[in-house]
Structure 1
Amino acid sequence: MTELRELPSIIEICEKLKTASGCDFVGLALQNEIGPDVRWHYASGNLNDKYKRITVRFGKGIAGKIISSGSTMMITDFPKHINGKVTDYPIMLAEKLVSSYAVPLFFNGVPKGVLLIGRRESHVYSEDVQQMADDSALVLEQLLKEQIFR
């Protein structure tokens, strides 16, 4: 698989979303081509490189839950009101995120990736910001389809 950091259009979309949404962090996770594991391939606004070492099982962590459910997820005040243990959310811990909104990326009708925006403070994402993330996810699906999932 091509390294996502080498794909400038993907970086531009993530940077633009981070700025437009007023978020501190944008991350992109993809399910491995072989096996069910999911890992974070790209981040903007990251505090460190821990995201590169985070791998979650299908159904675990934000990325695994989004891919297994195929639906969006909003966390407004981490770690309050979450399902499961705090350690089930490694990207939130690694990046000290308190709020996030995550959107699935679909390839051939199957969820295979996640676009996550986050802040390091409690926040409820407006419908406008959710729509921005949803729209960015659609553009990323097209780019990834053309460049990676041929």
Structure 2
Amino acid sequence: MTEIKELQKVIKVCNRLKGQISCDFVGLAIQNRVGPDVRWHYAVGNLNDKYKRITVRFGKGIAGKIISTGTPMMMVNFPHQAAGKVTDYPIALAEKLNTSYAVPLFFNGVPKGVLLVGNRESRPFNDNDQEVVKESGQALEAILKDYIGI
């Protein structure tokens, strides 16, 4: 599969997810092939291109925490109820996200990616929204399994 076809499929899944749960932002982060750093690769509904320059260490930020724990994470009322320093959440700051929900993406049983949805208003993600995000994450795992190549 060519990288362009993969990108088109990824963007299609992200756009569909954005519409299904009526969120403001959808982003995809993937851990670098070499080293522990995590980068945001794709986004829809983004305010700017800052996400492309955001790199977080394993265990830091939303993406780093999701990959290190392998569990979903909900964040509400950001930045007021952020755990730790606000600057530890560069994607939420760059995209002005108030509420976000993120799920890990697994490749060969190891968490290596993150699918993040966010709202700029205070609107939490209900159980149905969370299930749709998980299903979209599984679709992205299938699309990216050859690309990740671990």
| Interval containing the TM-score (normalised by the shorter chain) | over 0.9
C-alpha displacement at 1:5, in angstroms?
A: 8.7
Q: The residue matched to 1:142 in structure 2 has which SS?
A: helix
Deviation of 1:80 (Å): 2.2
- Give the Å deviation of 1:33: 0.1
Secondary structure of 2:146's counterpart equals helix
Question: Is residue 130 from structure 1 mapped to residue 114 from structure 2 by the alignment?
Answer: no
Question: The residue matched to 1:46 in structure 2 has which SS?
Answer: coil
CA gap 1:78/1:53 in 2 versus in 1, 3 angstroms: same
**Contact (CA 8 Å) 1:4, 1:10: kept in 2 or not?**
no
AA paired with 1:43?
A
Q: Between the two proteins, what is the percent identity of the paired residues?
A: 64
| TM-score (structure 2 length as normaliser) | 0.94
2:81 corresponds in structure 1 to 81
Contact 1:4 1:41 in 2 (8 A): no
TM-score normalised by L of structure 1: 0.94
Deviation at 1:58, TM superposition (A): 0.2
1:22 has 2:28 as partner? no
- Output one character per residue of 1:43-79: Cα deviation in whole Å (capped at 9) or x when no partner: 0000000000000000000000000000000012101
The answer to whether the 8 Å contact 1:4/1:42 transfers is no
SS at match of 2:23: coil
Distance 1:148 1:67 in 2: 14
Runs of 4+ in structure 1 over 6 Å off: none
Alignment of 1:1-150 (within 5 A): 7-149=7-149
User: Which deviates more, 71-80 or 46-55?
Assistant: 71-80
Q: For 1:135, what is the secondary structure of its paired residue? A: helix
Aligned residues: 149
1:145 Cα deviation after fit: 0.2
**8 Å CA contact 1:105, 1:112 repeated in 2:** yes
1:69 and 1:79 mapped to 2: Cα distance? 22
- Runs of 5+ consecutive residues of structure 2 not aligned to the other structure: none
For the aligned residues, what is the CA RMSD?
Answer: 1.6
Q: How far has the Cα of 1:148 moved from its partner?
A: 3.9
